[in-house]
Amino acid sequence: MLKGSIVALVTPMTAATEVDEAAWLALLDWHLASGTNGVVVGGTTGESATLTESEFARLLELAVERAAGRMSILAGTGSSSTAATIERTALAARLGADAALVVTPSYNRPSQRGLLAHFRAVADAADRPVVLYNVPARTAVDLQPETSLALAEHPNIVAIKEAVSDQQRIATLVNGGLAVLSGDDPSCCESMRLGAKGVISVAANVIPAAYARLCKLALSGQAEQARALDAGYAELYEFLGVESNPVPVKWLLSAMGRIDRGIRLPLVPLDARWHERGKTLAHALTKPVAVN
């Protein structure tokens, strides 16, 4: 279930920042047709911090119904509150999510002991598999490898999305027996070479067929072919980092005609200085990519 190209899916919004359900379904159909292995609903890229509970539930409900078992549906259920995380994880299970993606609590900066207690409490209460999510650049707390491996002893904790690109860390987690999903597009190819099971990707929002192909090559031991494909997307990786995620990726999808331009405050649309570069990139990305 948790392998290959998993997309940290954007939440499409109208210019008035209302959730666009028609565009959401169209994105899901595109990913199904492109060979995507799974999607994350309501993650960081999906603007989880500004989605209401009812919006999150509706998006998840639509995704589960549309996927109909053809790809995995992960629900972003983490928050700064353990109790709130448990509650949202239970909601995700009721709505049919295959797994919960639980980010480290932001702002309150728990210790490693606090992280152990937090994730164990969530996993104890969960009746779906839990995927740890470590992204210290966002949360200001770093889930250390030894803490992750201790958590992996819990039967409900099945994997980690590791956004730290340190390959020694990836190797430590893999060698310790924890299933790893890269959370860093530029280094995901190397992470899979070291034993990661796949990637939860931002870039796959705009190149789903290419990312499905990349993961297929990397996971089948065709490292050189995977690296060659990956090298062609260096400019995309750079562009996706010019402003905070998901600002650049939503702008690109809008330029490609996939979604409207809406994004919620405190995020604002991509600065005009990047538009020409983005238009050139968007045009190049519309070229079809073979998936076989």
Domains of the chain, with CATH numbers?
4-285 (3.20.20.70)
Active site residue 133: yes
Whether 288 has a pLDDT exceeding 90, the answer reads: no
- 279 part of the active site: no
Give 246-275 pLDDT, tens digit per residue. 999 999 999 999 999 999 999 999 999 999
Cα-Cα-Cα-Cα dihedral sign, residues 261, 200, 83, 142: negative
From the list 133, 211, 216, 233, the catalytic residue is 133
pLDDT per residue over 152-166, tens digit each? 999 999 999 999 999
Q: How many CA atoms lie within 13 A of 36 on its CB side?
A: 29
Model confidence at 116: pLDDT above 50: yes
3 state SS of 212: helix
20 contacts 13 by C-beta, under 8 angstroms:
yes
pTM of the model: 0.95
**Ramachandran bin of 116, using left for φ above 0, alpha for ψ from -120 to 50, beta for the remaining angles:** alpha
Active-site annotation holder among 3, 161, 197, 250: 161
- Residue 202 and residue 91: Cα distance in Å, rounded? 25
- Residue 175: what pLDDT? 97
- The band of 287, judged by pLDDT with boundaries at 50, 70 and 90, is low
Average pLDDT of the residues in 227-249: 97
pLDDT value at 292 more than 60: no
